Chain A
Amino acid sequence: METILAAFIAELRAIGLPVSLSENVDAAAALRAMPLGDRDQVKSVLEATLVKNHDHYRAFELAFDIFFGGRPLARLAEGSGAAGRAGSGTGTVLRQLTEDELNDLLFQAVAGRDGVLLRAVAAEAVERWAGIEPGRVVAGTFYLYRTLTRLDLEALRRRLREEEAGPGGLNDLGRRLAEEDQDARVDAARAEVEAEIRRQLIADRDAQAVAMTLRRPLPEDVEFLNASRAQLADLRQTVRPLARKMAARLARKRRHRRRAALDFRRTVRKSLASGGVPVDLAFHKPRPAKPEIMLVADISGSVSAFAGFTMQLAYAIKSEFSRVRSFVFVDGIEEVTDILEAAADITSVTHRLNLGTSAVRLDGHSDYGRALETFWERWGGQVRSRTSVIILGDGRNNYHASRAWVLTAIRQRARHLYWLNPEPAAAWDTGDSIMREYAPGCDLVVECRNLRQLRAFVEQLD
């Protein structure tokens, strides 16, 4: 147990979870204090002692499944003991079934909510159809695909719909609820197949090696530019609580920073308590001016996801600014403040913007020079000394003219001019990226590849 715990913690640290030495010690002590009955108890012990941030839970869960996932049923059957005998019993029976019969058994397992049967069916299906090749370094996605072409989950869903519809007595709502319940069960069946494949992979290679292939970055470390759709969905879940935390923090920072002028009236009133001697001074509450933010975002192609997140974040904490205005551009530029304010979900809006606004004038390739110049001509006069202008983009100008003088002009009027670039700093100035021309005009150019960096930037804003 000690060695597997050490390996498990090493894996968590490799993913990026901050596990301290004392937490390591706690986990070991907790495992000793707990009468360990089953896997779930080990899991709750490790979770309580090692994972102190709920955003990291998914990463923990995957790693836990890899290290403490148990052995595949098929291999259990080869072993001895009670578990082995039970396994071989179902195993041999299942092996003689035809494809249809196995699918039928799957239906019975899901319909009857029989977890043990479900696992046995999943194990058999993986054994039969996944065609796992020993020793190959893969994450198992293809094995999953191969298994699921034969183990038909869509047919299962249809059949559940038909057979559980009941004697026509369900109203609209009842049907809806039943369908959601069925979907959850089909998802569970799919997860069981995935878990079985993982177990097979681990039995083939060892846990550490599999963990390395399956390792995924934590939500805050996912790069905006090459995030998959599922990762983007995860990120969206993370942004809202993050924004709430940041708003609280900014508000606090602003309030605590300095004392305002002496409140003479309250000081005199207080001094009466000490015989006219002003022992405690009273001060006015500081009421610092809130800054105004102008976001100018490139929404072409791959950069749009990054722009979407930054805008979402900015809007979520807009109570901390006197005003947030947003502009989007590709080769033309357009103000979208009103559109964004009316919409509930900003990420869906960026998609709509891409379709029909004057942000796109010609060919849909970004032209920073033209966009910036137009911005300066139309809205430059509204940039004031309290305004911070933030430009979001990768600075890839498709070999158009840079017109970097615009940035110098904006900077002279504005309080600050920042440029956030979602590309790694090493990639700047390669190809058509012309950050070196724009950088001198800005107060600060920040690499902003993931949520962690974005958050660090917003926290130092003022």
Chain B
Amino acid sequence: MHRFESPELVGRSLRGAGYLASERISSVVYLGDRLGKPVLVEGPAGTGKTELAKSVARMSGMRLIRLQCYEGLDEAKALYEWNYKKQLLRIQAERTGSQGEMAEWTELEADIFSEEFLLARPLLSAIRAPDPVVLLIDEVDRLDVETEALLLEVLSDYQVSIPELGTVTSTQTPLVFLTSNNSRELSEALKRRCLYLYIDYPSVEREQEIVLSHVPGISETLTSQITGVVRSLRQLDLKKKPSVSETIDWAQTLYLLGAQQVSNELVVDTLHVLLKHQSDIDKATAEFTAAR
């Protein structure tokens, strides 16, 4: 029934899948499986929220079903839709094929609202999947408040009610991850149904490991300096602090430039890899050129 033996094992397998998880992350993933509850992942952009769900799928060999949320997403795109064109064809075929009376209408009606004419969208296909799946609901905060309620039935009972068909219940409990960039407050109802995981910027040590594993061949001294500079930048009051992926990009840049050691000049020259706002770059430049 349960997929994971222990939190440590989750951590180790995630590492095998190329995701260096902190203890807290692997504990929550483990709990999500044990309790059969969705995991709501929040945190600053670029700290590996989406990557976590992908890695969990990769490490356990499960299929990943992804629902990318956006404003205006509705039932027809998230849950299911009737394939009305096919239904029309079916009705027409019936008319021309036989001299059927209206008595057959009820039969026909039952027929055109069957599974054959149902287009499953991500949420329904995750519920109906015969094999174990990971369902990733990405950027759930972009949904309208009203559409958020769509998710509630799926998340708490792992079922979808279709008026014409009845209730579709899942055969296996999918592992569900929701990610949010915190651009608005999610409803209490949604939060209550989920386990909450906040992924912050990693500690210096963990970030060093991440860089070392993503940029093969980079030296340890360079890495420790890189993460040091990034930590120092994150302490500044910036519009957008450098994310983990930007740290990796920067490390890659420095490695390709053949740098042995980071110096103030080098930082200033390559800041645009780490920071994307001009005002942030100006601020950091001033910070790193100031004589100390």
B287 shortest CB reach to chain A, Å: 9
The contact of A41 among B23, B35, B195, B237, by CB within 8 Å, is B23
Q: Using Cβ atoms and an 8 Å threshold, which residues of chain A touch B144? A: 252, 256
* A41 with B7, Cβ < 8 A, contacts A173-B263, A249-B184 known: yes
Contact A345 B237 (CB under 8 A): yes
Indicate which residue in B6, B7, B30, B264 contacts A173 across the interface (CB closer than 8 Å): B264
**Stretch among B129-137, B167-175, B224-232 lining the A interface:** B224-232
Residues of B within 8 A of A176 (CB): 232, 292
Once the chains bind, are A248 and B183 in contact (CB under 8 Å)?
Answer: yes
Interface string of A246-263 (1 = CB under 8 A from B): 001100100010000000
Q: Which residues of B contact A54 (CB under 8 A)?
A: 42-43, 182, 198
**Nearest residue in A to B186 (C-beta to C-beta)?**
A52
What is the bound-complex CA distance between A358 and B156, given in angstroms?
Answer: 60
| Docked pose: A44 CA to B71 CA in angstroms | 32
Residue A290 interfacial (CB < 8 Å): no
C-alpha gap A48/B185 in the complex (Å):
17
B255 at the interface (CB under 8 A from A): no
Knowing A173-B262, A177-B229, say if A248 contacts B35 (CB, 8 Å): no
Query: A35-B7, A245-B184, A252-B144 given as contacts; is B197 within 8 A of A173 (CB)?
Result: no
Interfacial chain A residues near B279, Cβ < 8 Å: 344
Tell me which residues across on chain B come within 8 A of A345, comparing CB atoms.
237
8 A Cβ contacts from A20-69 to B: 20, 22-23, 26, 29-30, 33-35, 40-41, 44-45, 47-49, 51-54, 57
Chain A residues bordering chain B, tally (CB within 8 A): 40
CB neighbours of A51 from chain B (8 A): 196
Instruction: Render B169-206 as a binary contact track against A, CB cut-off 8 A, 1 for contact.
Output: 00000000000001111001001101111100000100
Residue A172 lies at the interface, judged by CB distance under 8 Å to chain B: yes
Q: Are B28 and A44 in contact (CB under 8 A)?
A: yes
Judge whether A16 is part of the interface by a CB distance below 8 angstroms.
no
Is B288 a contact partner of A173 (Cβ separation < 8 A)? yes
Determine whether B31 belongs to the interface, using a CB cutoff of 8 Å to chain A.
Answer: yes
Q: Within the assembled complex, what's the spacing in Å between the Cα atoms of A344 and B280?
A: 10
Instruction: Please name the residue on chain A nearest to B24 by beta carbon.
Output: A44
Q: How long is the Cα–Cα vector from A177 to B237 in the complex, in angstroms?
A: 18
Residue B261 is within 8 A (CB to CB) of chain A in the complex:
yes
Q: Taking the complex as formed, is B27 at the interface, i.e. its CB lies under 8 A from any CB of chain A?
A: yes
Contact status B27-A172, CB under 8 Å: no
State the Cβ distance, B110 to closest chain A Cβ, in Å.
27
Complex Cα–Cα for A252 and B145 (A):
10
Distance in Å from the Cβ of A38 to the closest Cβ of chain B?
9
Q: Which residue of B lies closest to A29 (CB)?
A: B35
Q: How far is the CB of B263 from the nearest CB of chain A, in Å?
A: 5
- The answer to the question of A241 belonging to the interface, with a C-beta cut-off of 8 Å to chain B, is yes
Q: Which residues of A contact B6 (CB under 8 A)?
A: 35
- Is there contact, CB below 8 Å, between B182 and A241? yes
| Closest chain A residue, CB of each to CB of B71 | A252
Whether the pair B188, A173 counts as a contact (CB closer than 8 A) is no
The reply to whether the CB of A382 lies closer than 8 angstroms to some CB of chain B is no
Residues from chain A with Cβ under 8 Å of B262 in the complex: 173
B292 touches A175 (CB 8 A): yes
Choose one: B27, B34, B229, B283; the contact of A44 (CB below 8 Å). Answer: B27
Interface string of B133-151 (1 = CB under 8 A from A): 0000000000010000000
Residues of A163-182 contacting chain B, CB below 8 A: 171-177, 180-181
**In chain A, what residue has the closest Cβ to B191?**
A52
A432 to B288, CA, bound (A): 50
- Contacts A48-B195, A177-B229, A177-B232: A171 and B263 contacting too (C-beta < 8 A)? yes
Q: Is the CB of A57 within 8 A of B35?
A: no
Q: Is B182's CB under 8 angstroms from A41's CB?
A: no
Q: Is A291 an interface residue (CB 8 A)?
A: no
- Which of A41, A45, A173 is packed against the most chain B CB atoms within 10 Å? A173
With a CB–CB cut-off of 8 A, which chain B residues contact A380? none
Contact B30 A52 (CB under 8 A): no
Residue B120, interface by CB 8 Å: no
CA distance A376 to B253 in the complex (A): 58
Of B7, B195, B237, which contacts A49 at CB under 8 A?
Answer: B195
B218 at the interface (CB under 8 A from A): no
Closest residue to B228 on the A side, CB-wise?
Answer: A177
- Output the least CB separation between B174 and chain A (Å): 18
Complexed CA–CA distance, A326 and B207 (Å): 43
Query: Which residues of A have CB within 8 Å of B37?
Result: 26
Q: How far is the CA of A109 from the CA of B183 in the complex (A)?
A: 42
A172 proximity list for chain B (CB < 8 A): 263-264, 292
| A contact residues around B261 at 8 Å (CB) | 171, 174
B52 at the interface (CB under 8 A from A): no
- Taking the closest CB of chain B, its distance from the CB of A13, in whole angstroms, is 15
- Residue A364 lies at the interface, judged by CB distance under 8 Å to chain B: no
A18 at the interface (CB under 8 A from B): yes
Given A33-B35, A177-B228, A249-B184, A47-B196 contact (CB < 8 Å): yes
In the complex, what residue of chain A is closest to B29 when comparing beta carbons?
A48
B267 at the interface (CB under 8 A from A): yes
What is the chain B residue whose CB lies nearest that of A49? B195
The answer to whether A22 and B192 touch across the interface, beta carbons within 8 angstroms, is yes
| Residues in chain A near residue B43, CB distance under 8 A | 54
Q: Report A-chain residues with C-beta under 8 Å of the C-beta of B183.
A: 244-245, 248
A19, B194: Cα distance in complex, Å: 13
Chain A residue with the shortest CB-CB distance to B189: A20
Contact flag A30-B31 (CB < 8 Å), given A41-B23, A51-B196, A176-B292: yes
Docked-complex contact A45 and B185, CB < 8 angstroms = no
CB neighbours of A30 from chain B (8 A): 31, 34-35, 195
Q: Is the CB of B264 within 8 A of A26?
A: no
Is A181's CB under 8 angstroms from B196's CB? no
Cα of A18 to Cα of B191 in the assembled complex, Å = 11
CA–CA, A177 to B222, complex, Å?
A: 12
Question: Which residues of chain B come closer than 8 Å to A48, judged between CB atoms?
Answer: 27-28, 31, 39, 195-197
Min CB–CB distance B270 → chain A (angstroms): 13
List, in ascending order, chain B residues with CB within 8 A of A34's CB. Answer: 7, 27, 30-31, 34
- Inter-chain contact B197/A180, CB cutoff 8 Å: no
10 contacts between A and B (CB under 8 A): A29-B35, A34-B30, A52-B192, A54-B43, A171-B264, A172-B264, A173-B262, A173-B264, A244-B183, A344-B279
Further 10 A-B residue pairs, CB within 8 A, beyond A47-B24, A245-B184: A20-B188, A40-B24, A44-B24, A48-B197, A49-B195, A52-B191, A171-B263, A172-B264, A173-B225, A345-B237
Contact surface of B with A, Cβ cutoff 8 Å: 6-7, 23-24, 27-28, 30-31, 34-35, 37, 39-40, 42-43, 71, 144, 182-185, 188, 191-192, 194-198, 204, 225, 228-229, 231-232, 235, 237, 261-264, 267, 279, 283, 288, 292
